[in-house]
Amino acid sequence: MFKKILIPVILSAAMLLGGCSDISVNVNINRDGGRKKLMAVKDDLKWWQETIAYEIYVKSFKDSDGDGCGDINGIISELDHLKNLGVGAIWLTPCYVSPQADNGYDIADYYDIDPAYGTMEDMDRLIEEADKRGIRIVMDLVFNHTSDQNEWFKESALSKDNEKSDWYIWADPKEDGSAPNNWRSIFGGSAWEYNEERGQYYLHTFLPEQPDLNWENPKVREALIDVANFWVKKGVGGFRMDAITYIKKPADLSDGKPDAADGMVGIHSMTANTEGILDYLDEFKSAVQDDTDIFTVGEANGVSAKDLPNWVGKNGVFDMVFEFGFVNIDLPDESNWCETREWTLPEFKAVFSASEKMTSDPKINGWYPMFLENHDQPRSINHFLPEGADRVAGGKALATLLLTMRGTPFIMEGEELGFVNVAWPDIDDYNDISTKNHYKFAIGEGYSEEEAMAGVHRFARDSARTPMQWDGSENAGFTSGKPWLPVSDDYETVNVKAESSDPDSVLSWYHELVNLRSSHREFIDGDYEEILHEDEQIFAYLRENADAKAVVLINMSTEKAAYDPSITENAKQILCTGEGSDAGELAPLEAVIYEELK
């Protein structure tokens, strides 16, 4: 009860104290009117289209038992932080039993929780406690592969004629005994691993410890459907489908054209989004999702805007897909972190706009999962803003983009505090196996130690995985033990406690935006239209429904930016990150929102 009263008070206070305070008051005044109006507009949205999703990297969120590793009870203890952020869905990275070769993305038992994270009873309690706060739990289904410690794989590896012998992708060596083809795994090295017992190789898109399942086998598909239904029965709100575009392999396993000095070809170009994949996913959808209110979001590397009609919406296999067109805008070749490319803001904007346009086409009626970060990516302030961008101003600018685009925003833990990349001096300081392999690849390709480490500092996945920072105490309040990965050095100022009481913090800005979304319906159900497309500094767009038209202007550069003030002529400024913006001009990294009621 106490909490229920406290939340709006905190939000309103933050709004009153923050920049543009008089403007923020307008937001408050409009709130009730906004609620009434929203009844009149599209009210057929599903719960997951109206909410905000939050990704928890379970290992790094909150440790309850002092072993240095985040756990389920830790998550339960911090649910109110998420409720205050307007979160209605929590995507948990995999917390099933796993040897942790890839931090849980190598699953040994889909039906149990890894002891490092807790027990199934803890998970049941998390689902229940989250539910009390109006939050649903979203499980990460890793179905392209399992762990090599999964009983399915152990049995499959025993012989060529046991019951599960074709549950994985086995192939004979080439005549000279080498791997069946020259495919390079996503984490580097051959995508094939030899198994003595069978005298054959098995395929692994990722690590050798992550053998790929054979989706051609109906029994495999059935077993995976059973796993998903087990979790549906537990009451989860949805699934994030890991690496799902790789599940269907081509019939032809011959060599591909080499793309690097190692004579290999990246497996991505050979197996992503292969003909026939949609049949399997259709089957999965009807066996798992029919008659439920859960949602699915696919990790869809290899799917671009033009493919979306088959992947989302009326005839799509998922409710949403994460596409990566903008993520790799600075990285022409994912396996080589040393070669980056210059990109322009119009290019960046075009990727979002193409997907928004495609998903919102009434013939498709799809939905977009808006994200700028996840546990595989650098922090967005470093990734998408110019070098040297102010952390707080930059965090607010990107938050504005994240929470006002059309679609369900996915916040990555720490993003709401304005986390930035870590840059540890030595490759041995890093935990992530893919980072270590990228480093090795760079050295192998002839790059210097300095160049290889620069790539690591730019792209290492560990930057998104450092422990969550709760307060300024030792280990940022994450654990009473030794954290599994070092806490970032900035924890004394960048933490939930400090930012909650600072009206100018990134976190307070998130709260303002969350409030804005609930009081201004156009940010949820409004159409999206990009404007000022050719502008090299400003990301600008309209969000419009039957009652209101909002103009969002975000200066993504560290210089002042001018625009034609007639765009906002009849509108009222309702929110801005700075002191209040003059029409026609934005300060560096300033974001401002105008609204015109109809």
**Which residues are part of the catalytic machinery?**
242, 299
> Taking CB under 6 A as the rule, which mask of x and - marks residues 222-261 in contact with ligand NOJ?
--------------------xx------------------
Closer CB to ligand NOJ, 242 or 525, in the complex:
242
Q: Is 96 in the site for ligand NOJ (CB under 6 A)?
A: no
Say how many residues touch ligand NOJ, by CB under 6 A.
9
Closest Cα partner for 485 from 449, 431, 541?
Answer: 431
Closer CB to ligand NOJ, 55 or 522, in the complex:
55
Minimal distance, residue 102 CB to ligand NOJ, in Å: 5
Residue 495 φ then ψ, to 5°: -155, 165
Coil, strand or helix: which one is 165? coil
Closer CB to ligand NOJ, 259 or 376, in the complex:
376
Q: Is 102 in the site for ligand NOJ (CB under 6 A)?
A: yes
Minimal distance, residue 243 CB to ligand NOJ, in Å: 4
Minimal distance, residue 372 CB to ligand NOJ, in Å: 15
For tokens 């690097």, name the residue: 260
Q: How far apart are CA 458 and CA 382, in angstroms?
A: 8
For tokens 């924890």, name the residue: 491
Q: Which of residues 385-404 bind ligand NOJ (CB under 6 A)?
A: none
Output the residue with the shortest Cβ distance to ligand NOJ.
Answer: 105
Minimal distance, residue 544 CB to ligand NOJ, in Å: 34
Q: Is 376 in the site for ligand NOJ (CB under 6 A)?
A: yes
Q: Is 105 in the site for ligand NOJ (CB under 6 A)?
A: yes
Minimal distance, residue 299 CB to ligand NOJ, in Å: 6
Closer CB to ligand NOJ, 142 or 420, in the complex:
142
List 206, 231, 470, 523, residue binding ligand NOJ (CB under 6 A): 206
Minimal distance, residue 208 CB to ligand NOJ, in Å: 13
Minimal distance, residue 440 CB to ligand NOJ, in Å: 17
Q: Which of residues 356-375 bind ligand NOJ (CB under 6 A)?
A: 375
- Asked if 509 and 577 count as a contact pair (C-beta separation under 8 A), the reply is yes
Residue type, 459: F
Q: Which of residues 296-315 bind ligand NOJ (CB under 6 A)?
A: 299
Closer CB to ligand NOJ, 376 or 529, in the complex:
376
Structure-derived torsion over alpha carbons of residues 128, 131, 133, 139, reported in degrees to the nearest 10: 100
Neighbours of 193 (CB within 10 A): 18
Q: Which of residues 474-503 bind ligand NOJ (CB under 6 A)?
A: none
Tokens representing 100?
């942790």
Closer CB to ligand NOJ, 105 or 152, in the complex:
105
Q: Is 71 in the site for ligand NOJ (CB under 6 A)?
A: no
Minimal distance, residue 375 CB to ligand NOJ, in Å: 6
- Asked if 538 and 518 count as a contact pair (C-beta separation under 8 A), the reply is no
Closer CB to ligand NOJ, 242 or 415, in the complex:
242
Q: Is 212 in the site for ligand NOJ (CB under 6 A)?
A: no
Sorted by sequence, the CB contacts under 8 Å of residue 271 that are 6+ apart come out as 183, 205, 246, 248, 249, 250
Q: How far apart are CA 18 and CA 297, in angstroms?
A: 35
Q: Is 142 in the site for ligand NOJ (CB under 6 A)?
A: yes
529 bridge partner residues = 542
Closest Cα partner for 463 from 54, 52, 53, 57?
Answer: 57
- Count Cβ atoms within 10 A of the Cβ of residue 275 and give its class: 0-12 exposed, 13-18 middle, 19 or more buried: exposed
Residue 409 φ then ψ, to 5°: -75, 140
Closer CB to ligand NOJ, 156 or 377, in the complex:
377
- Asked if 20 and 580 count as a contact pair (C-beta separation under 8 A), the reply is yes
For residue 64, what are the CA distances in angstroms to 42, 89, 116, 481, 483? 42, 22, 11, 10, 12
**Measured in Å, how far apart are the chain's first and last C-alpha atoms?**
37
H helices of 197-276, in order, are 218-233, 267-271
Half-sphere exposure of residue 400: CA atoms within 13 angstroms, side-chain side? 28
Chain residues binding ligand NOJ by CB under 6 A are 102, 105, 142, 206, 242-243, 299, 375-376
